[in-house]
Amino acid sequence: MGKSSKRKRHHKDSEALPPSSSGEHCGEFPLAASPDRRPPRHHHTANGVDEPQVVAVVVEAPPTPQAVAPCMDSVVKVFCVHTEPNFSLPWQRKRQYSSSSSGFVIAGKRVLTNAHSVEYHTQVKLKKRGSDTKYLATVLAIGTECDIALLTVDDDEFWEGIIPVEFGNLPVLQDAVTVVGYPIGGDTISVTSGVVSRMEILSYVHGSTELLGLQIDAAINSGNSGGPAFSDKGKCVGIAFQSLKTEDVENIGYVIPTPVILHFITDYEKNGKYTGFPLLGVEWQKMENPDLRMSMGMGADQKGVRIRRVEPTSPESQVLKPSDVILSFDRVNIANDGTGECFIHASIPLYPLVGKSNGGCRVPGEAGAGPTQYESYGGGRTLKRHNGHRHGERIGFSYLVSQKYTGDSAVIKVLRKSKTLEFNITLGTHKRLIPAHLNGKRPSYYIVAGFVFTAVTVPYLRSEVSWSLHKMPSLSGYGKDYEFDAPVKLLDKLLHAMVETADEQLVVVSQVLVSDINIGYEEIVNTQVLAFNNKPVKNLKSLVHMVESCQDDYLKFDLEYQQIVVLKTKTAKAATADILATHCIPSAMSDDLMT
């Protein structure tokens, strides 16, 4: 989606913490409300949120026990065994660990939980409230960006006596909510109540993206992940997924709201898999300065944001240009600060079906709900309710983009050299030069003469030890502070770089496995590879092809900071096998590079 003038440099007190194990101190950072986990310690992908300020609210009465009680049997405990890759030693996997979290049953014999609750899962089991039986579950889809996963259970016995949770409308400020789940500290179900204190575009810590989110003042602790948040009518209005924990604030939790949840479900139903949330491939700046607006030829009644850069690989690059001013997106006007009026379209599943007709469809039988408030949506399986303008609320226009689906079209109006133009664009997901996650895949690597080459990702940065800063290994690694401690050039590319081609990767020498063949090169760590034998390195696969097919006398690698590595081709390739044997490495390259 559109990005403001620069990507956020996240504060140290806005980083995600690893899941907590029994007795583990939760620390002072926001927690991606993670599974109750037993060691070893594990870090989730971080994309912190700017530290929220506490908002004074009038506390309403919590949802009545009568409304929430029937829903509790639909809330299940999720047990997962994870086996993660070792991103620093990509030919290995880390020691497996176990976690527990929450989930809830929805229509179609499916269960929703958080993506980080089942990340790199080896086995997933579910247990119903009051039961002593754990049922094996299958992961149908994982939406890393929105931190949602969809599960099912093959055993019909599991579904006996469970009534699926129903989704409700997006709540408004000060609406009461109840979070239900299985947090750390006990084995039985837990209930906490609070109110909605803020609705805005949030940074989703696990997915390193920004989507609509709700802030509530109910406690969300480790193990609450994936549990439902209920309204006072007993309808699900969100999924608990992260919380803010600092010395200055208490009980600030975050909930994935129904528009995001139902986007995920509809995406899966339409495509048979999760395809992601589309993005607008531009970076933009605010137009709040009157002189800036005048210089761009904007009239007194025109508002919008200026495009700084357009991603070269995005569909938008065919029509949008730097210095275009975005005036509206899909007929919704954009303000000079990048916000739009808050029109919320909450999709509502068609259950229960109560007989009010709407063009051949049926709508929920709510008091005062007329057919004109709904439209058919998602192939007749869901409806879209027009809740209309929310008085006093504005929201970043990226919300409008995120409500679309991959492949959808949108109308964008821009001002270019004092002329107003309209374009139809096709929306899609966009690749980052340094990906925030690998969607469950193992990292790629290539080894020759002891040089370990890999493509940089956020998980890699978080796992790496701090050689570049301290010239010696640090047991703590970059970890949650990767955005402060990783090499400056890698951070600059993480925050600002755009891919020039769809297959571009940032390839580095991760480390050098010491051998007689590489004397003098031992201290090269996390250094970008720019060229091989005077040919640019586009990605790791292209580097492998060039090295493996090289018939020249020497292998020459051009690195950043004007460093070069030169090795005799025959002796370098001959030494590789012995180095692999010394370090018990099964192959010189990952499986994906062999084809």
Residues tagged active-site: 116, 147, 225
Which tokens sit at 25?
Answer: 């101190």
Q: Give the separation between CA 590 and CA 454, rounded to whole angstroms.
A: 10
Contact 577, 589 (CB under 8 A): no
What span, in angstroms and rounded, lies between the C-alpha atoms of 570 and 550?
10
Q: In which region does residue 116 sit, left (phi positive, over 0), alpha (psi from -120 to 50) or beta (all else)?
A: alpha
Answer yes or no: are the C-beta atoms of 102 and 181 closer than 8 Å.
yes
In sequence order, the β-bridge partners of residue 196 are 216
Rounded to whole angstroms, the Cα distance separating 45 from 15 reads 10
What distances in angstroms separate CA 64 from CA 53, 191, 230, 247, 477, one per listed residue?
29, 12, 10, 32, 47
State the Cα–Cα distance between residues 16 and 478, nearest whole angstrom: 13
Left, alpha or beta for 125 (phi > 0: left; psi -120 to 50: alpha)? beta
For 139, the token pair is: 């992961």
Structure tokens at 87: 């991103």
Alpha-carbon distance 235 to 364, whole Å?
Answer: 12
Residue whose entry in the numeric block shows the structure tokens 């002329």 = 419
Residues in contact with 230: Cβ distance below 8 Å, sequence separation at least 6, in sequence order: 63, 67, 68, 71, 177, 178, 179, 180, 236, 237
First to last CA, the chain: 34
Q: What SS3 state is found at 346?
A: strand
Torsional class of 297: left (φ above 0), alpha (ψ -120 to 50), beta (otherwise): left
- 485's enclosing H/E stretch is helix 482-485
Which backbone phi and psi does 154 adopt, to 5 degrees? -75, -30
Contacts of 431 (CB under 8 A, 6+ apart): 313, 499, 502
d(CA 242, CA 256): 9
Question: Ramachandran region of residue 458, left (φ > 0), alpha (ψ -120 to 50) or beta?
Answer: alpha
Q: Is 85 exposed, middle or buried (0-12, 13-18, 19+ CB in 10 A)?
A: buried
- For residues 104 and 189, what is the distance between their CA atoms, to the nearest angstrom? 12
User: Nearest-CA neighbor of 199 among 242, 254, 251, 244?
Assistant: 254
